[in-house]
Structure formats: structure tokens, C-alpha cells
Amino acid sequence: MQKVSFFRSIHMKFVLIYVLLIMIAMQIIGVYFVGKLEDQLVRNFQKAIEGRLPLLEYNIAEEVKKDRSADDMPALEDDINKLLNDFLATDIEEVRIVNSRSLIIGTSESNNQGIIGQKTTDVMVKRTLAVGEREEKIQIDRKSGGRIWVLTSPIKSSGEIVGAIYLVAKIETVYKQMEEINSIFITGTAIAMFITAVLGIVLARMITRPIADMKRQATAMAKGNFSRKVRVYGEDEIGQLAYTFNNLTKKLQEAQAMTEGERRKLSSVLTFMTDGVVATDRKGRVILINERAADMLNVSRETVLAQPIIELLDIGEEFTFEDLLEQQDSIILDYSTHETKYYLRANMSIIQRETGFVNGLIAVLHDITEQEKLDEERREFVSNVSHELRTPLTTMRSYLEALSEGAIDDKELGPRFLGVTRNETERMIRLVNDLLDLSKMDSRNYEINPVWVDFVKFFNHIIDRFEMTKERQVTFRRLLPNHTIYVEIDEDKLTQVIDNIISNAMKYSPEGGQVTFRIQEFHGEIEVSISDQGIGIPKDNIEKVFERFYRVDRARTRQLGGTGLGLAIAKEMIGAHGGKIWARSLEGKGTTILFTLPYDPLQEDDWL
């Protein structure tokens, strides 16, 4: 990977481009120079030979013009051979003389004298004799493998063609010289390229060093490090870029610090919000959820990211994401089970740009369980109050109608009807008084007036009062301490609580039953319990006995004059004293009502 990154670096690219440019320039110069030099050397070689041809042509033309008989032919050949030998040079391989009849009358090649007198077959010679123009070509010699220059030139005398010269020159020497020149040029080019590469590396380092510094700084900035600065190497464009980069780093550091501060503020707000917040992207997938929303929905933040919000809120059967974007009213989410009630209210808000493009949706969740419970309790309370008042009022109206129709004159029915009416009136008075007590306790102005009381003596006094006035055959069993226990209580309020509990125990105890009273001391509190042997409370309803208007046996309770508010009032009063109240029961075997009160023996000693 390092090797790949090196060859991909701007440093290497700069050197390669620099070297390639120099190489291309050298190649262009070399090709042009070598081509021109080769053409020049070839022309010089050819001109040197062609410059000697006119004299040879003239001498041979003079020899051919001489009037010779057949017997003089050997003398002609000898004269021509002498002329050819004088003409020969190291770069001329062979020269042949052909007369106008295409007969070879002389050759400079001593080993090839047998062709003299033969008719030539060379096409160039024939064309030269026919046309009278020179012809030339460069070709490969079959014997030596080197290049040769073949030239045919006409021999003219008095305007007539009397023969032709066929010349073969060794032009390979010219090309060997070119090869040597090319070798020298290649060596020079390699040296120049090496020096150029070294200079290119040095120059590239000078240019790329500040760029590499800026790259390292950009990498550090990507990781959140804004403390580094780029070194400024000069005042040129790269130096100005480095200076600008440093300013950019400073601005980004300030912007990042500001963004981080705002992010922390937002994170803190989202974390400590009492409402849940869920944000989505434009496709309805969750991109943000705070801890409160995760707790409300009983999900993990990591598992719900990228999950569609309609699946998260479990409203896919009723809504689509497009419906949520158009939703103006809040949505009530019911997550209640058979055991518990749980309601959430979701308010939807669109995340929208100034252009109108929708980026996503924000759902704000409110826990309205208590509000729904209160509304339900209020409805139930109104219903129960209405029912509790309607029953005695209906009874009273019936009896009053009967009395008004003449029953009042009946000595047996009149007093009995009046007695029922009076009982129902007293029952309504007790109900209204209990409602007033509850109303006071629900208000913020409710106060108790505690005093230090010997609770054992206080409890015995209340039990004695019930024991003296009881009308049923019910025995009392007292399991109370023999020593004093001083607690700080409001005597009137706590008397009302204990009266209510004992009254219930007496009402539901069978003939010959027993009511047990007990006080136990624990660390920081005393526990008071009152047990009966009545009908008991079903296990599923034991927590409901402290609710308003709850009755285990509605018909019997109403018959006994109960309002269904006694234990509800007791719960509020015990709570006002800093204690708690609860019930234990076995259906068919009886019920025990227990409550605690704060108790500190040290404070008791100080008071005494």
C-alpha cells in the first residue's frame, strides 16, 4: 500500500511529468537532428562520388569515340580498365562501363572480368541507355548484407548516348557513422535524463513539501486536531495558500468549538427533557432518539436507529409516514396491558427547509398515563358519587311519596318510613362529609396538627370505646406493648382512621368472631395492624380496597351504611403522617389492615 501511495503521490507525478516532458523534447530533437544529419551525410557521400563522374564520363566518351577496329577492342578494354582503376576509391565497390548496345566493356572488379563482352540485364542500365537520365537506389547487398548505393549515369558524346556507367558504392559506412552518432546521442540523453530526474526530485520536493504539510494538517483536522499549523515557506502562491490554510484552520477550530458547544447544549437538553424526542430522515427512518423516548418506548437506542418510525411507535396499521407528515392533531398511543395502564401522546412536527423540501419529522412524546388515570378516576368518581347519591335519594323519594299519600297516618308504617328516611339522610350526610374530607386532603392547603401522644394509651382508648358500644358478639384481642410509645400524630385525624378500620372489621366479622389489635416496633417506625375473621378480599382486588368507592360486597356495605370512602381517606391521612397503609387477606378467612407511623425512640427520650 505504501508503494502504491508513493507512485500515486503528487511528488512522483510531478517528477514523472517533468522527466517525460524532457524525454519527449529530447526525442523530438533527436529524431529531427538524426534524420537531418543522415540525409546530409548521404547527400555528401553521393555528391562526393557524383562530383568525380563527369571526368570519368568524359574520358570514357573519348575512348569510345576513337575509331577502333575489332582488333583494337582489347586496347579499349585496357584503356577503360586503367580509367576505372584511377577512378576507384575505398568507398566504391565496383564500376561497370556499358556501351550503347548494352554490352559490358569494362569493370573495376578484378574477379569479375568474365562479364566483359556480355550483355547487361540490369533494368536501371537499360532505362538509362533508353532515356538518358541518371537513376539511383539504395539496397541491401546480398553478399555482405550491408547497404549499397547503386547509380547509373549516361555517357554522352555530341548529344548522343554512347554508353552508361553502372556504379556500386559502399554507403553502409555512412549508416555506421549514424549508429555511432545515435549511440552518442542516446548516452547523452540518458545522462541528461538522470540529471533532469535529480533536479526534478529536488524541485518537486520544494513544491510538494508545503502541499504535503497541508495534507497532514487536513488529515489532523479530519480527526479533530486543530492545534497544528502549516509552515509558510515563501511568499509565492503556495505560501499564500499555506497562510490561507492556517486562517481556515483557525476559523474551523472556532466553528467546531461553537458547534460542539451547541451540540452539548442540545444533547443536554434532549437528555434531561421530561418528554421523549424522536427524529427521522426524509424517508421516515429514525436518526435520533433521546434517553427519555427510549425509556418511554422500552427500546434500546442502538437497535432502533434506521428503523421506520411507524414501526417504532407501532402505528403501521393506522398511519403511513406520509399521513404523519400531514397530521395536525396529536396521536394518542395506547400501550396498556391487562395489568397496567400506559398512554403516550405524540405531537408531530415537520423538519422543512426554506425551499419547502421536507428533511424529516420530529415526534415529541408525552407520558399522559397519570392524566388518563385521573380522567378515568374523575369519570368513575362522578359516576360513583351519582350512584351513591341517587340510591338514598330514590329511597327517600319513595318513602316520602308514601308518607304524603297517607302512610304518615299509619301508626306502624309512618314511624318506620320516617326512620328509613332519617337513616338515608344521615348516610348522605356521612357521604358528603367524607367527600369534603377527601377534597380537603386533595387540596394543597391540607394540614395536620401533630402532637406527641402515647400511642399505646391512645389506641387502647379507641378500642375501649368500641368494646363498650359494640352490639354484636365479637371479641377483641389486644397484642399491645406494656410500655409507652410516644409518636407525633394528629389525634383527630388518626382517630378517624382507626375508627374507620375498626368499624369495617366489626361490620364484616361474623357472630362469635374475633378482632385482633397489634402494635410492633421496627427501626424508625411502628406497625399497627387490625385483623378480622370476615369474608376476606379476593387476591386480585386487594390493592383496590384503598380506591374511592371500592367495596368488596357492595350490597352488604350499602346495607351497613358504608360509603366506600373510609379506606381511601385513611390512606390519605396516613400518607400525610409520613406512613403507609396496606392490606393482607385470605378470602373466607379474614382481612388485616396494617399501617406504619414514623417512630424515633431518641426523640421520644428528648421529649420526655
* DSSP notation for 303-324: HHTTSBHHHHTT-TTT--HHHH
Q: Is residue 492 part of a domain?
A: yes
CA 222, 225, 231, 232 torsion: positive or negative? positive
List of residues 6+ apart from 530 with CB closer than 8 A: 498, 501, 502, 505, 515, 516, 517, 518, 592, 593
Are both 353 and 382 inside the same structural domain?
no
* Strands laid side by side in the 514-522 sheet: 475-479, 514-522, 525-531, 590-598, 581-586
182-213: string of b/e by CB count within 10 Å (b at 16+)?
eeebeeebeeebeebbeebbeebeeebebbeb
List the CATH number of the domain containing 332: 3.30.450.20
> Using the 8-state DSSP alphabet, how is residue 592 labeled?
E
With a pLDDT cut of 90, the percent of the chain lying above it is: 6
Asked whether residue 566 falls in the same domain as residue 492, the answer is: yes
d(CA 572, CA 29): 109
What mean pLDDT comes out for the span 133-155? 86
**pLDDT on residue 198:** 82
Q: Are residues 292 and 430 in the same domain?
A: no
Across the range 328-343, mean pLDDT stands at: 83
Let me know if residue 537 belongs to a domain: yes
CATH number of the domain enclosing 432: 1.10.287.130
Give me the number of domains the chain comprises. 4
Query: CA–CA separation, 84 vs 60, rounded Å?
Result: 9
Residues 455-473: what's their mean pLDDT?
85
Same domain, 598 and 494: yes
What backbone phi and psi angles, to 5 degrees, belong to 510? -75, 165
Query: Which helix (H) or strand (E) element contains residue 520?
Result: strand 514-522
**What share of the chain has pLDDT > 70, as a percent?**
87
Q: Is residue 263 part of a domain?
A: no
Residue 350, helix vs strand vs coil: strand
Residue 510, in any domain of the structure: yes
Residue 60, in any domain of the structure: yes
Task: Please give the model's pTM, rounded to 2 decimal places.
Answer: 0.41
- Residue 4, pLDDT above cutoff 50: no
Beta strands, E only, 541-600: 581-586, 590-598
Predicted pLDDT at 26:
81
Instruction: Clarify whether residues 417 and 478 are in a common domain.
Output: no
Q: Pick from 142, 170, 198: which residue ends a domain?
A: 170
Contact call for residues 76 and 68 (beta carbons, < 8 A): yes
Region 378-407: mean pLDDT is 73
Q: Is the pLDDT of residue 94 over 60?
A: yes
pLDDT at 437: 66
- Position 222 in a domain: no
User: Does the residue 231 lie in any domain?
Assistant: no
Per-residue pLDDT reduced to its tens digit, 425-455? 876 776 677 667 666 666 555 677 888 999 9
Last residue of a domain, one of 418, 441, 464: 441
Does the pLDDT at position 187 exceed 90?
Answer: no
In the three-class reduction of DSSP (H, G, I as helix; E, B as strand; rest coil), residue 15 is classed as helix
Lowest mean pLDDT across 88-92, 172-176, 315-319, 560-564: 560-564
Domain match, 569 and 459 both: yes
Question: Do 451 and 598 fall into the same domain?
Answer: yes
Contacts of residue 395, defined as CB under 8 A and 6 or more positions apart, other chains included, come to 420, 421, 424
Average pLDDT over residues 22-38: 83
Query: What whole-number distance in Å separates Cα of residue 254 and Cα of residue 570?
Result: 63
pLDDT in tens, 368-384: 888 877 777 677 666 66
Let me know whether 313 and 360 are in one domain. Answer: yes
Query: What's the domain range around 69?
Result: 51-170
Residue 5: per-residue pLDDT? 53
CATH number (domain holding residue 519): 3.30.565.10
The residue type found at 67 is: D
**Residues 289, 402: one domain?**
no
Query: Does residue 465 sit in the same domain as residue 564?
Result: yes
Enumerate residues 6+ apart whose C-beta is below 8 A from 526. Answer: 455, 485, 487, 519, 520, 596, 597, 599
Q: Distances in Å between the alpha carbon of 137 and those of 124, 166, 169, 171, 366?
A: 10, 12, 11, 11, 105
The CA radius of gyration of the chain, in Å to the nearest whole number, is 64
Residue at which a domain ends, from 394, 421, 441: 441
pLDDT, averaged across the chain = 80
Q: Flag whether 531 is in a domain.
A: yes
Q: How far apart are CA 519 and CA 478, in angstroms?
A: 9
Angular region, 325: left φ>0, alpha ψ -120 to 50, beta rest: alpha
Residues 455 and 585 in one domain: yes
- Among 39-53, 426-440, 571-585, name the one with the lowest average pLDDT: 426-440
Tell me, yes or no, whether 425 and 524 share the same domain: no
Torsion from C-alpha of 82, 83, 86, 91, nearest 10 degrees: -120
Q: Do 150 and 74 contact (CB within 8 A), yes or no?
A: no
